[in-house]
Structure 1
């Protein structure tokens, strides 16, 4: 259809003086600002202050709107009750009318409807024409979320937006279904939920107040009753001096009780059938309120003229109150769309553009990944001092400390303690490591506590059934090794769990880097394809290598071929022996002195020689235990370092910056480039929409700059 904006000579019979009552002089500038924002199309992105009319079917909503604006609405045939109708009045040098159908299906472009020859009595014809264009989205028994927008411009006309919404209904009939009720309820709820909407809640006065469910719906979205004006219609249909009439009059006059509204209540009289002229309707209304119970109600709460004045003040205050948040939302949406468009990168219509785009992505990834691995956190991606999720090297170091702590406290099968002593509690890690272990718990059992005597008894039994050709007093050469293997059995599961956790966090870090550069995978196809075809396969392969390396590191201990450094082993064994001798000497001295025995050199030497705990026994089990414990200590440290350096750092961490490189991109085939970087139709459409939105929001932001609070840089200069 052809837009009618060019129809500058069109005659529109609308009383601009009536519309002028909706604007105070001091509020005209604010109204014009909001009007300009609507002209830019900002209301498609940011909610703007507006007036909506809600109520039950046949409550008189359209009649109120007709009287308010002096534009004829189809109040008899119900043509406008199937969808929302936005009436937008704007000032302009020349007169023009534009009727636009905005489809709920955003893939369909808005449709401009031909409105040739329009006058104030032809609104039903335009609405009927819009209904035919809605097609399958509306049926005789259904409703639609499509919106008819009527924009009327002319000289001396002032900005106003009022929206007539379908009425609530509660009974299924031949012309309306339960499915239609769901559409209506959701549609009206969406409009009412916008805090920028002033709600004109219209209720029919010929029904008791308690019968109006629409009031509860309004309360649900405006619980504090801050932005609702109650409008009572059909007062002429109330029974004079009845309880219902008295109740409504008291509510309007006193505005108290359960239905109190901050903006108050108002009463208007609907047009009678004989009142063809809208001016006649206004005059009849004034006469009606001069008698009966309404005579005692203040004039400012009666009649359409008073309602216009009230709305003028309310709308001005609402715009003034809402404008700072509108400006903030414009800026927020502008920045959001700029960021999204930046993440989409430049258009990628051919192979060269796609390769260039991916090379840039790869360079950014390499740089951020290397910074994370090396522990350089200057880029904003890593956050401030309190932010920890993206600081990858810090996480790795805490994982290594956690691994060491768990291996030292839970890495042995048994904790061997001297006879008569209690097991010492493991040393608590520092507070930061405790917090880390709460986030990543290593849930492994503590070692079984046993005494030296119990170990020797069990070991002597095992030594007796594993004797070889060794000299008496010497255990079988394999006894200490097998004892060590039993003691170090938890290492495998602890290490495997540790590697899984580190790999998981490493993958999360890589995912976060790509999402930071490109956006989340659910909104950016390139992110999704890179993660699924580059990142996931790489980690699958590295996980396999890491586990193979762990098996390689465990193999010597499993097979018994566990060569220790001679000097390190002998030093540990000597230390163990000396500690044991010193401990026994101390206990002998204390025991003898407690009995009053004078300990000379001879008696002390005899006591040492006779002490069974320093005697290796028939099978040399004490020596085997000492050798096992000495080797366990040296091997544990070596194993932990190898897991960290050879498995984690070498097989996993060092390769992360090389997951996606500029060199790889430069060697990619056309097919691979298309797979990674070709834009779908949806992305191209999204790019165009973002560019359009940004242009709209930039214009809006420029317009609103003068209303932004200005920070004072200095109060006084001396």
Structure 2
């Protein structure tokens, strides 16, 4: 916090206390063992993720501190929403055009004891809305309309969707608007630039893992999402690709994911999209059957296919990047806490009542009067050494001197009108 920020938040001390509490938990969580990182659903991963989520909730990113984040990007109609639905087991907004118009932070939390799922939306400075699986898509649309308007525009203000249910992977992902090159009716002409700016903001930090969703029906090198991720991750070490719609274009897919023409460092996972009215369980059964018996798709390594494999890979990658980044995050937060504490100590005491406020007001008024007296009465400008244009007396003298130098040139030589020139120069 800068000094102005500190002054505008009377509860800063309380907030700093909350941050220090989270920081203590974060330090403990960052001591996760290697075995916890290797396990896909190990209980020790949850404290790591909780610590990062709590830091994100405290908005430490506004202080320039980047948090480990899995960012989901893809061209429009790449199947991005279908992948997220399969991971969470819930339905997200669908339709023509851009369905995701604001960043959607999805916090998936496995709760083995939950009898029924608990879903909450958080947005607009702490507003919390509880919803159900049946109504979550409508709730997201309503929150989006409140933030980005009811049209087809987008916003960079995020919505957080918390999903607590049995069997979901412990993951936090940020779903971003799908990339569209040509605006449709109702969209601003610069819609591509707006989306690209939001995507770059999220994928540029080295702490971000890029989950690039690609349709099997297109050539990967032509995907705009690939071009954007390569701009910030040239080696591909932070990029994992998910290939969707594999049942629609199985020919040549094995070569695509093994040749890797687009440099995907974290590898590929191929998935089948849920079709029609299939339940999520039915979709997983059909997916398993597809990759087991299809004459072409069955040749793809089993470590590269299926939503369960994708979930496992994401949890492992997430735990690794969090464990790697947390020590530096703790150091940065401690540095900022120390500076904020120093600023807080240097501030004058709070005004606790009207009498204190009146006393402070008259003190300020006295200082202002003293300053005006120095300037207007005594012509002392030491309070403004760099603002020479404020010094009226000196400026008038400069103007008079310039006038005295120009005047002789306007009077004919030998004229007796120059008789006061010497006096003017003295003045």
Q: Give the shorter-chain TM-score range.
A: 0.5 to 0.7
Instruction: Give SS of 2:104's match.
Output: strand
**Are the counterparts in 1 of residues 82 and 273 from structure 2 also a CA contact under 8 Å?**
yes
Is 1:537 paired with 2:384? no
**Distance verdict in 2 for CA 1:543–1:36, change over 3 Å:** closer
**Are the counterparts in 2 of residues 202 and 231 from structure 1 also a CA contact under 8 Å?**
yes
- CA drift of 1:77 comes to 5.5
**Are the counterparts in 2 of residues 252 and 301 from structure 1 also a CA contact under 8 Å?**
no
- CA drift of 1:167 comes to 0.5
**Distance verdict in 2 for CA 1:272–1:42, change over 3 Å:** closer
- CA drift of 1:114 comes to 4.8
**Are the counterparts in 2 of residues 203 and 212 from structure 1 also a CA contact under 8 Å?**
yes
Question: Counterpart of 2:121?
Answer: 99
**Are the counterparts in 2 of residues 348 and 354 from structure 1 also a CA contact under 8 Å?**
no
Question: Counterpart of 1:310?
Answer: 313
Question: Counterpart of 1:32?
Answer: 47
CA deviation digits over 1:222-276, x for unaligned, max 9? Answer: 22322110111112222x53xxxx2x42232244x4x2222112211111224x2
**Distance verdict in 2 for CA 1:111–1:79, change over 3 Å:** farther
Question: Counterpart of 1:277?
Answer: 279
For 1:26-425, what aligned pairs fall within 5 Å after superposition?
A: 27-39=42-54, 42=57, 44-46=59-61, 47-76=66-95, 80-90=99-109, 96-102=118-124, 109-115=125-131, 118-119=132-133, 121-134=134-147, 137-153=148-164, 159-238=170-249, 241=251, 246=252, 248-255=253-260, 257=261, 259-274=262-277, 276-290=278-292, 291-348=294-351, 352=356
**Are the counterparts in 2 of residues 30 and 319 from structure 1 also a CA contact under 8 Å?**
no
**Are the counterparts in 2 of residues 230 and 265 from structure 1 also a CA contact under 8 Å?**
yes
Instruction: Give SS of 2:190's match.
Output: helix
- CA drift of 1:539 comes to 5.0
Distance in 1 between the 2:110 and 2:318 partners? 17
Distance in 2 between the 1:235 and 1:226 partners? 24
CA deviation digits over 1:65-121, x for unaligned, max 9? Answer: 11122222233456742111111133667764321123xxxxxx3322353xx12x3
Could you say which structure has the larger radius of gyration?
1
Question: Counterpart of 1:705?
Answer: none
Distance in 2 between the 1:195 and 1:531 partners? 51
Distance in 2 between the 1:172 and 1:29 partners? 45
Q: TM-score, normalised by structure 2?
A: 0.68
**Are the counterparts in 1 of residues 101 and 153 from structure 2 also a CA contact under 8 Å?**
yes
**Distance verdict in 2 for CA 1:25–1:355, change over 3 Å:** farther
- CA drift of 1:201 comes to 0.5
**Aligned length in residues:** 337
**Distance verdict in 2 for CA 1:124–1:78, change over 3 Å:** farther
Distance in 1 between the 2:187 and 2:338 partners? 44
- CA drift of 1:189 comes to 1.5
Question: Counterpart of 2:7?
Answer: none
Distance in 2 between the 1:49 and 1:202 partners? 19
Instruction: Give SS of 1:327's match.
Output: helix
CA deviation digits over 1:127-174, x for unaligned, max 9? Answer: 12213423xx42423112222211233578764212221111100211
Q: Which consecutive residues of structure 1, in runs of 5 or more, have no partner in the other structure?
A: 1-21, 103-108, 360-525, 549-718
- CA drift of 1:316 comes to 1.8
CA deviation digits over 1:455-505, x for unaligned, max 9? Answer: xxxxxxxxxxxxxxxxxxxxxxxxxxxxxxxxxxxxxxxxxxxxxxxxxxx
Which of the two has greater helix per residue?
1
Q: TM-score, normalised by structure 1?
A: 0.42
**Are the counterparts in 2 of residues 35 and 159 from structure 1 also a CA contact under 8 Å?**
no
**Are the counterparts in 2 of residues 37 and 43 from structure 1 also a CA contact under 8 Å?**
no
**Distance verdict in 2 for CA 1:344–1:72, change over 3 Å:** same
Greater RCO, 1 or 2 (C-alpha within 8 Å, sep 6+): 2
Distance in 2 between the 1:285 and 1:193 partners? 33
Q: Which consecutive residues of structure 2, in runs of 5 or more, have no partner in the other structure?
A: 1-36, 389-393, 395-427
Question: Counterpart of 1:609?
Answer: none
**Are the counterparts in 1 of residues 76 and 98 from structure 2 also a CA contact under 8 Å?**
no
**Are the counterparts in 2 of residues 55 and 203 from structure 1 also a CA contact under 8 Å?**
yes
**Distance verdict in 2 for CA 1:23–1:65, change over 3 Å:** farther
**Are the counterparts in 2 of residues 49 and 197 from structure 1 also a CA contact under 8 Å?**
yes
**Distance verdict in 2 for CA 1:262–1:537, change over 3 Å:** same
| Aligned-residue CA RMSD (Å) | 3.8
**Are the counterparts in 1 of residues 70 and 172 from structure 2 also a CA contact under 8 Å?**
yes
Distance in 1 between the 2:299 and 2:139 partners? 42
**Are the counterparts in 1 of residues 215 and 245 from structure 2 also a CA contact under 8 Å?**
yes
CA deviation digits over 1:425-479, x for unaligned, max 9? Answer: xxxxxxxxxxxxxxxxxxxxxxxxxxxxxxxxxxxxxxxxxxxxxxxxxxxxxxx
